[in-house]
Amino acid sequence: MREAPIGVFDSGVGGLSVLAEIQRLLPNESLLYVADCGNIPYGEKTPEFIRQRCSVMAEFFEHQGAKALVLACNTATVAGVADLRRDYPQWPIVGMEPAVKPAAAATRSGVVGVLATTGTLQSAKFAALLDRFATDVRVITQPCPGLVELIENGDLHSTALREMLEGYVGPLLGAGADTIILGCTHYPFLKPLLRQMIPDDISLIDTGAAVARQLQRLLADRQLLAEGPARPAQFWSSADPDHFANILPVLWNKAGVVRSFEA
């Protein structure tokens, strides 16, 4: 059971940023990744639809013999993680949430900006995070329609992307934010571009590394940490697998075979 794989999924390729953090911290673990690209973006889907997709993913990973599940998607976590923990009590299950707590602790100006999808910003879970951790800071939220779609196409540098990102980040900086939360798993891929656009003293915070640490803790608690060696990561896509395979070298820094996910 220790050497069983870990299942990770996202609405698209953004969760590769989380997968990379897991592989960095837990190099002995074998990883399975499903990109539900055929249904992206989740942020525009109903909670009922997203819960159904979460169930489909969990069933698939169960058939693959997975020992744990990671929802590498903020929107899927909000909609589906509670049901999955109820239905799969045998698994350690780790979800995502915007890093409001560390951002509130890090800010010096008292102003925190949030870049996220509309679905995340409108969720009750996000509102609860603000109520719990952001009582002493001003939080400015910025929905970012269009960013996910560009990143899904492997676009990390174009003029169109830069102009879109400047339009989203500008109001946060103008309001005095010195800490910016990257509230979608796609957005860490934009860190190099963001660093060109913002002052050096602005903090960028995402939760991929924290997710990897939580997964490590849960696996250790259940004596499920693999001894290795890890098998190569396996990939599936519910859209064109060739498209995903073409951008894997850009976002994963290595090539890989992508199979078709049909469910």
Q: Give the other-Cβ count within 10 Å of 155's Cβ.
A: 15
144 tagged catalytic: no
Q: Which of 37, 54, 144, 184 is catalytic?
A: 184
Q: How far apart are CA 113 and CA 100, in angstroms?
A: 10
54 tagged catalytic: no
CA distances from 204 to 8, 31, 96, 191, 214 (A): 24, 27, 17, 8, 20
Residues 6+ apart with CB under 8 A from 108: 178
Where does 64-186 have alpha helices with state H?
74-87, 100-106, 118-121, 124-133, 147-152, 159-174
Sheet architecture: strand order including 68-71:
93-94, 68-71, 6-10, 31-35, 234-237, 258-260
3-state secondary structure of 22: helix
Q: Which of 37, 54, 73, 144 is catalytic?
A: 73
- CB under 8 Å, gap of 24 or more: what pairs does 163-166 form? 165/190, 165/193, 165/194, 165/197, 166/197
Q: How does DSSP classify residue 239?
A: S
Helices (H) and strands (E) in the chain, counts: 11, 10
Q: Would you name the residues annotated as active-site residues?
A: 73, 184
